[in-house]
Amino acid sequence: MAKIAVTDGLSDEAVRILQSAGHEVHIKHHEQSEINNGSLSKFDAVVIRSATKLLSQQIMASVSDDGGIRFIGRAGVGVDNIDINTATKMGIIVCNTPGASTSSVVELTIGHLLASTRHIVTADRTMRNGEWSKKRLRGSEIGGKRLGLIGLGRISRGVAQIARSFGMEIHAYDPYVEEVPGWITMHEEVDTIFSSCTHISIHCNLTEETANLVNSSRISMMPGIGLDGTKCGNHIVSCARGGIVDENDCSDALSNGQLSSLALDVFSTEPLIESPLMNHDGFHGSPHIAASTLEAQSRIGTEMASLIIQFFKTGKTDYSLNNV
């Protein structure tokens, strides 16, 4: 039976499922320095979220002459914190749970979009300070505006459906998708999303191509006037990955009025301690909580537990990110 290290938490239900299948589960955060010194090499499998980084050095240190990890489970979607190539070379299987948090991320994205355009956070903050800012906090509707989606996967399509029901016109850029519903207007260039949409939501992976994709020059293309003629300003939201949005450029754009709001759940450095963004009322931040719901964590946990059980029973999984 396998010895499993869980470094960033896992649902109680998943732990029970794994233990009932005879596995040993050790829940403890391992610091990067401990991992570099081989703390994971005493385990057969490791389950991580985004806080633990398993890049080449850490993966190499997690395998020893008499064993070490054979399974890396990413309890969530993003795998930019795992060096899959090194894992493959070392014969380690890598699995994630790509669909389990979709609804939760969709809901937070829509929540941020509405909170930003209706100043919900500032309204609460100022009211607690004794201010009644009824006139100052005039917002704009999202209905009658264009929403540009960068990346058109599961989450983005969920956002598109809800935004459409609010009366938004949906535009998207994704060079990798083929089948797209007729009500989504696809663009061949990412720049035309910026030049046509007042509201943009980011849903792509962080790659060399998408790093700092949202920058001053693209923000300056945004129209600021909605499809319905409202001077609603420009609004950007990202619950995807830190590093796609250039946070300094966005801070400048919030200062000079090119951006009216920016809502981020993900940051180039996490945790975000200090940032020029904190000086802007138009900035709405959340500490990488898009998948942090009871439902998503329960689905993620049970999916991860069944992948682990299957792997240690058969040596294979129905689904993995690499072939070993």
Q: Which residues bind ligand MLT (CB under 6 A)?
A: 49-50, 76-78, 101, 290-291
What does residue 237 show for φ and ψ, rounded to 5 degrees? -130, 140
Closer CB to ligand MLT, 76 or 243, in the complex: 76
- Copy the structure tokens of residue 257: 């009025």
Q: Which of 157, 241, 284, 299 is catalytic?
A: 241
Nearest distance from C-beta of residue 149 to ligand MLT, angstroms? 18
Nearest distance from C-beta of residue 101 to ligand MLT, angstroms? 5
Q: Which of 74, 199, 288, 299 is catalytic?
A: 288
* 288 catalytic per annotation: yes
Q: Are 187 and 212 in contact (CB under 8 A)?
A: no
DSSP 30: P
Nearest distance from C-beta of residue 117 to ligand MLT, angstroms? 24
Nearest distance from C-beta of residue 145 to ligand MLT, angstroms? 27
Element (H, E) at 322: none
Q: Distance from CA of residue 93 to its chain's centroid? A: 22
Closer CB to ligand MLT, 47 or 77, in the complex: 77
Closer CB to ligand MLT, 99 or 175, in the complex: 99
Q: Are 75 and 49 in contact (CB under 8 A)?
A: yes
* 136 catalytic per annotation: no
Nearest distance from C-beta of residue 161 to ligand MLT, angstroms? 20
Residues 6+ apart with CB under 8 A from 265: 108, 112, 238, 239, 285, 286, 287, 288, 289, 290
Q: At what angle do helices 12-20 and 294-314 cross, to 10 degrees?
A: 20
Taking alpha carbons only, the member of 270, 274, 275, 227 closest to residue 247 is: 275
Asked if the bond preceding 181 is cis, omega within 30° of 0, the reply is no
Closer CB to ligand MLT, 49 or 299, in the complex: 49
* 49 catalytic per annotation: no
| Residue showing the smallest CB distance to ligand MLT in the complex | 76
Closer CB to ligand MLT, 54 or 291, in the complex: 291
Rounded CA-CA distance 302/159 in Å is: 25
What does residue 245 show for φ and ψ, rounded to 5 degrees? -95, 125
Q: Which residues are catalytic?
A: 241, 270, 288
